[in-house]
Amino acid sequence: MEELIKWAIELQFIAQAGLTYSENKFDRERFKRIREISAEIMSAKSGLSIEKVKDLFCNEEGYQTPKIDTRAAIFKDDKVLLVQETSTLEWSLPGGWVDVNQSVRTNIIKEVKEEAGLDVVADKIIAVQDRNKHNVPPYAYGICKIFVLCNAIGGKFEANIETCDSKFFSIDKLPILSVERNTKEQIEMCFRAYHDENWKVLFD
């Protein structure tokens, strides 16, 4: 990640903490301006509109912590299940943000059902990654990506508002991936975990 983007993210974090804990109205105005500057930097470097960046970058309250994203690795006949995103027609491991009322386990089960139509058992954690170290483009906030090895026990795919198709792919015949969500390297990691009974969780 470019140094300028790293600095913008750090400025946003400092400003967010300042707005959370500072009671002095003059300091709060300064922290608001720091947050605006960080958003302007992100907009200039990412090509996104300043309004879009502010929506992503400046909409939280309280002490800022990373969001959590879960991704399910489901295998059959040495192929991995991917779903096709309706918005981009690119492919990804089923998953998404962890809802506030869900755990990692219950969330991945819910997401697979919603996106792939399958009922699964969440067996083990494959990896916990800092998204901005592995995926592009860099986001203006921290994300912990948790990859979970799952076993399908029933269900079937039905098109929905998020995904329009679901198929199993071998590692050498992957479709066009949504690299914002998962890269070929991350899917290869999931294959290695699937083949290794003694897999040890990877984490950044």
Residue 86: predicted pLDDT: 96
Q: State what percent of residues in the chain have pLDDT above 70.
A: 98
Q: Does the pLDDT value for residue 56 go beyond 90?
A: no
Over residues 176-187, mean pLDDT? 97
Residue 63: predicted pLDDT: 77
Beta strand 95-97 pairing with 67-76: antiparallel
What residue segments make up the domains of the chain, in order of their start?
Answer: 3-57, 67-203
Q: Which residues have CB under 8 Å from 100's CB, separation 6+?
A: none
Q: Does the pLDDT value for residue 48 go beyond 80?
A: no
Q: Does the pLDDT value for residue 34 go beyond 60?
A: yes
Residues 139-157 pLDDT 10s: 767 899 999 999 999 999 9
Residues 107-138 pLDDT 10s: 999 999 999 999 999 999 999 999 989 998 87
Check: CATH 3.40.50.2000 for 67-203? Answer: no
Residue pair 167/116 in contact (Cβ under 8 Å)? The answer is no
CA distance 115 to 109: 10
Residues 59-94 pLDDT 10s: 777 777 888 999 999 999 999 999 999 999 999 999
Nearest one of 1, 8, 19 to 50, comparing CA atoms: 8
Residue 1: predicted pLDDT: 55
Nearest one of 107, 114, 183, 91 to 148, comparing CA atoms: 107
Instruction: Compute the mean pLDDT over every residue in the chain, rounded to the nearest whole number.
Output: 92
CA distance 192 to 123: 15
Whole-model pTM: value is: 0.81
Joined together, the tokens standing for residue 106 give 């219950």
Higher local confidence (pLDDT), 53 or 179? 179
Q: Does the pLDDT value for residue 54 go beyond 90?
A: no
Over residues 7-24, mean pLDDT? 90
Residue 45: predicted pLDDT: 82
Residue 51: predicted pLDDT: 86
Nearest one of 120, 119, 121, 118 to 158, comparing CA atoms: 118
